[in-house]
Amino acid sequence: MSKGRDNKPHIGIFGRRNSGKSSLINVLAGQEIAIVSDIAGTTTDPVKKSIELEGIGPAILVDTAGIDDEGELGQKRIAKTKSVLKVIDLAILIISENQFGDFEDKLVEAFRQYDLPFIIVHNKADVGQLTQELKEIFANKYQTSIIDFSTIRPTNILEVSQALRKHMPENAYMQKSLLGGLVKKGDVALLVTPIDSEAPEGRMILPQVQAIRDVLDNDAIVVALKEDQLEGYLNAMQPKPVLVITDSQVFPLVDTVVPPEISMTSFSIMLSHHKGDFKNYHKGTPHLSKLKDGDRILILESCTHHVSCEDIGRVKIPGWLSRLSDKKLDFDVVAGLDNLPRNIHDYAIVIQCGGCVITRRQIINRLKPAVDAGIPVTNYGMAIAWMHGIFDRAVAPFVDLDEKKNY
């Protein structure tokens, strides 16, 4: 399951079969949007529901299969349930009738592995309230909100909403500026936007649209043009831009045309600083020059799309890298959040796309196995800049910005 374009807080609902997961979703949504049944195992695969939550706003609830599912098929359902941990921002663990054991302990341990905040809801309080003993165990062991609740008589629904608001990470629904600190009121930001077969018909790609909006949000002026119009604009127009953001594929041309006193970067590098693992990308990129014959490269795309002869991740980056290294390299491309085809240790380096349609949490979790294993990681924009000899210039705006913030 991927967040895809639902760039809103995602909340996963976890618990045993018939604990009331789907019922809680219906109560939170204020309408019957999840199937409720007394038959155990009604919910099989993770299902997303879009709702509006008090104190949070638009959010996505993810209903999951029971963590106590049985049989070979049940184990597959549990595996899918646990895969949801990579894409959500907060979890609700539902228990009922004071049942709490190995199933829940293992799930909480998984929450902690992903640094995932969670709350505990004891459902069916109309049948039997949460015991004081269990409440104290939870309070001492987990330091989170514990709510006694009934989906039949949801008199304290506000308490659940307040707990969700309290434990929801701020970055789940408060987006920092893409270009804050680089452009200010009255500045001109120049966007170089090639129109090729990779561009959506009649539209601009998402990072370009996001950049335009962010420049305007910073009360600056945005100018967008194609690469063949760049030199004429810079020669004729005033004031000069304080920042040029380009599609990575035309880096060499833009680097030649844009004077060194004007800051330059790419849409992909902009996104890597906004919600990628910028620090590890910056550290890992130089390893592109250390590749050996037989090395295998993992390329991670965040979305699925039609592949053309100009495809950046599947065609151009492998071609550039093979020529730069003059080595025989092997490449694996994984789209969306699919499982890796090999063990992470089989790869010499991981190259992540800009990630325009997924969240920072998804990107960080996607890269975590490589980072934990000490395998270098980079992203499309930084890799392309490195291969074209303009890495330092392309990352400088954000490196300088971070140094100022840390000063």
Binned at pLDDT 50, 70 and 90, residue 358 comes out as confident
Written as six digits, the tokens of 188 are 């001109």
Amino acid at 387: M
Contact 24, 94 (CB under 8 A): yes
Q: Distance (Å, rounded) from C-alpha 120 to C-alpha 122?
A: 7
Q: What is the pLDDT of residues 38-76, one digit of tens each?
A: 444 444 456 788 888 877 888 888 888 888 776 676 677
Mean of the pLDDT values across residues 103-112? 90
pTM value is 0.72
Predicted confidence (pLDDT) at residue 274 exceeds the cutoff of 80: yes
Domains of the chain plus CATH, in order, are: 10-172 (3.40.50.300), 188-271 (3.40.50.11420), 277-387 (3.40.50.11410)
Q: Distance of CA 10 to CAs 43, 63, 277, Å? A: 18, 11, 20
- pLDDT value at position 53? 83
Over the chain, what is the mean pLDDT? 86
Contact status, residue 378 vs residue 281, Cβ threshold 8 Å: yes
> Nearest Cα to 79, choosing from 48, 110, 118, 119?
110
Angle between helix axes 267-275 and 360-372 (nearest 10 degrees) is 80
Average pLDDT value for residue range 287-316: 82
| Per-residue pLDDT, 252 | 92
Q: DSSP readout, 228-281?
A: GGHHHHHHH-SSPPSEEEE-GGGHHHHHHHS-TTSEEEEHHHHHHHHHS-HHHH
Q: What is the Cα–Cα distance from 93 to 110, expressed in whole angstroms?
A: 12
pLDDT value for 200: 57
Dihedral-angle region of residue 294 (phi above 0 means left; psi in -120 to 50 means alpha; beta otherwise): left
In this predicted structure, what is the pLDDT of residue 159? Answer: 93
Burial group, residue 167, by CB count within 10 angstroms (0-12, 13-18, 19+): middle
Mean pLDDT of 174-183: 85
Band of pLDDT at residue 189, cut at 50, 70 and 90: very high
Tokens 């789940």 -> residue? 172
Note the pLDDT tens digit of each residue in 199-251.
556 668 888 999 999 999 999 999 999 999 999 999 999 999 999 999 988 99
Closest CA to 272 of 362, 371, 184, 363: 363
